[in-house]
Amino acid sequence: MADPLDIPALLAALPSRLAGIVQAHAAATPGAPALRDPHAGSVDYASLWQAVQDCAAQLRALGVRPGDRVMVVGENCANLVALLFAAGLADAWIVNVNARLSGPEVDALRSHSGARIVLYTANVSPQAQAHGERHGAPAMAGPFGPWLAGALNDDCVPEPVHADGAAQPAALVYTTGTTGQPKGVMLSHRGLLYVAAVSSRLRGLVPHDRAYGALPTSHVYGLASVMLGTLYAGACLVLAPRFTAEGLLQALREERLTILQGVPAMFARLLELAGDAPSLPNDLRFAYAGGSPLTPSLKAAAERLLGVALHNGYGMTESGPTISQTDLAAPRADTSVGYPIPGVALRIVDGAGTDVAPGQPGVLWVRSPGLMLGYYRDPAQTAAALRPGGWLDTGDMGRQDADGALFIVGRTKELIIRSGFNVYPLEVETVLNAHPAVAQSAVVGRACADGNEEVIAYVEPDARAARAGLAALLAAHAAAALAPYKRPGRIVVLEALPAAATGKILKGRLQEMAARLGPVPAGD
């Protein structure tokens, strides 16, 4: 893909804080719609900018200082959008946490981030309400309805503040939760705005576009590409607290969406709902699937239903997220994740960090203005991921065709991607192993036909435990400790897990066994 943008000029023109994009549109087009919220209705840019300023003042009045972390447990809504911008305006970091996480997961992130205060978007999320009540958080007024605000954390230590948006963290986005070693990815204001600006322009976004905002903003895809990318263009974001196929169908009909970004599983569920319908009348001009692999069969079926090309791309939290995407003017029919977006450089290297021969697979390294500042409070993992010369070791295996198109051919890590969310096997194994009936466990992923991945757990029971009913017992145990998308779709009890002479579990053999299992019932 030819670089159509002057990246140095684009970066120089970016505001120093995320809120600058709302401020600019409020001045230029105050009455233009910024948000459509199922509870707050239509919110124009002038109203959103006023709400951002009011929220920033409210945070300061509550005791939030520059360099503090402000954690929000919630789901997509106008209040959450206002808080995302307001935290940065107050020079605090936003720590946006999905309310569907379990209590232990939320508490682990609150502890690791050292959040000064935690707020809960209780007006749109029963789960957020429950988390807030669990922490004794009283209700208070927000700009678009009430929220809950927890007690001030007097032990919070402010981090240094930088006037330069390239050095100042805007968001702390977590890639894992309950392993005892959560990874908080520090993303800067400039990095997030760079991805928002470039992805917005590559999609050809204009002010009259209406984009669907069901992807959670606690995920970097929903935060940077969807929410920030839409508002960067002065377009309207149609918010949904969480995705349902019925809700998407209603939004296509009633909100006249023109932009639809999602994960492959979202398109698969829409296809299931549509049944035998050959096509679905809509106003879409751009559709995009990211967050997990997109199979050619799902891509073709979604394109027939929607009547537009379904584009594809690749990214990760540590890159803020977008690394590559297919060309708007030249859709592809293969499994390529497209071309590096303007400003991104790629290397395909071997285990020693030496470039492999053109066209050969290797470990993918990337360099981009959107790269993370590092993992919060984890210099060792930061040093392992960020290599000399400004390169990020993605841990994924890739190859490039002669024309520069990127293909992801595998993972060097065991990461499972379910419905666009990262699931780390060790996290699930830690929960299962904590049960007294379990001697050891191993978790693997299995690819689905819709591009999603299933979480399959293999368990070796304690010699004293009864095997009858153990899988159901462990499923209930996992449900109490893990978010729905992290819970195993199936728990298989084995007499003993396959292991080498050293005792190391042979996960490759378990993956072969998982591939032979029958269909797993759909999870949450």
**265-314, pLDDT tens digit by residue?**
888 889 889 988 999 999 999 999 988 777 787 898 899 999 999 999 99
In sequence order, the β-bridge partners of residue 374 are 186
What is the structure's pLDDT at 176?
A: 53
Q: Which two tokens stand for residue 347?
A: 């290397």
The pLDDT of residue 83: 98
Look up residue 93 and give its two tokens.
């970091």
SS3 for 108?
helix
* 509 pLDDT above the threshold of 70: yes
Domains present along the chain, CATH in parentheses: 7-400 (3.40.50.12780), 416-515 (3.30.300.30)
Token output for 327: 């060309």
| Closest C-alpha among 85, 88, 93 to residue 68 | 93
Q: Residue 37: is its pLDDT beyond 70?
A: yes
- Residue 246 exposed, middle or buried by CB count within 10 Å (0-12, 13-18, 19+): exposed
The band of 405, judged by pLDDT with boundaries at 50, 70 and 90, is very high
The closest alpha carbon to 156, from 85, 48, 76, 70, belongs to 70
* Whole-number pLDDT of residue 523: 43
Q: What 3-state class would DSSP assign to 401?
A: coil
pLDDT of 342: 97
What is the pLDDT confidence band of residue 501, given thresholds at 50, 70 and 90?
A: very low
Q: How confident is the model at residue 504 (pLDDT cuts 50, 70, 90)?
A: low
Contact between 50 and 229 under an 8 Å Cβ cutoff? The reply is: no
Confidence tier at 180 by pLDDT (50, 70, 90): very low
Q: Are strands 374-375 and 362-367 parallel, antiparallel or unpaired?
A: unpaired
Helices (H), 352-469: 379-385, 425-433
Residue 503 has pLDDT above 70, yes or no: no
Q: Are 285 and 316 in contact (CB under 8 A)?
A: no
- Output the six-digit token pair for 109: 């992130």
Rg of the Cα trace of the chain?
Answer: 22
Task: Answer for the pair 18, 228: CB distance below 8 angstroms, yes or no.
Answer: yes
Q: For residue 195, what are the contacts with CB-CB under 8 A and spacing of at least 6?
A: 224, 225, 228, 229, 320, 321, 322, 370
**Range 183-195 average pLDDT:** 97
More confident residue, 268 or 366: 366
The model's confidence at residue 177, banded by pLDDT at 50, 70 and 90, is very low
Mean pLDDT of 44-69: 98
pTM value?
0.84
In this predicted structure, which of 2-6, 23-27, 249-253 has the lowest mean pLDDT? 2-6
Mean pLDDT for the stretch of residues 358-384 = 95
Percent of the chain's residues with pLDDT above 90:
74
Q: Please give the pLDDT value at position 350.
A: 92
Q: Which whole number is the average pLDDT over 466-474?
A: 92
Mean pLDDT of the chain: 91
54 has a pLDDT exceeding 60:
yes
Nearest to 474 by CA among 493, 455, 454: 493
pLDDT (0 to 100) of residue 520: 60
pLDDT of 502 reads 41
Task: State which amino acid sits at residue 279.
Answer: S
The answer on pLDDT for 464 being more than 90 is no
Q: How confident is the model at residue 521, as a pLDDT?
A: 56
> Which two three-digit tokens encode residue 403?
């024309």
Look at residue 514 and tell me whether its pLDDT is greater than 80. Answer: yes
For residue 294, the model assigns a pLDDT of 77
Determine the average pLDDT of the residues in 119-145.
96
Q: Which of 51-65, 138-152, 248-262, 322-336 has the lowest mean pLDDT?
A: 322-336
pLDDT of res. 264: 82
Kindly report, residue by residue over 139-157, the tens digit of the pLDDT. 999 999 999 999 999 999 9
Q: Which of 175-184, 230-239, 343-352 has the lowest mean pLDDT?
A: 175-184
Place of tokens 């949904």: 240
pLDDT on residue 419? 83
State how far the alpha carbon of 501 is from the alpha carbons of 182, 440, 454, 461, 506, in Å.
Answer: 31, 16, 29, 20, 10
109-117 average pLDDT score: 97
Q: Which residues of 436-458 are buried (b: 16+ CB within 10 A; e: fewer)?
A: ebbebbbbbbbbbebbbbbbbbb
Q: Using alpha carbons only, what angle is made at residue 301 by residues 297 and 307, rounded to the nearest 5 degrees?
A: 140
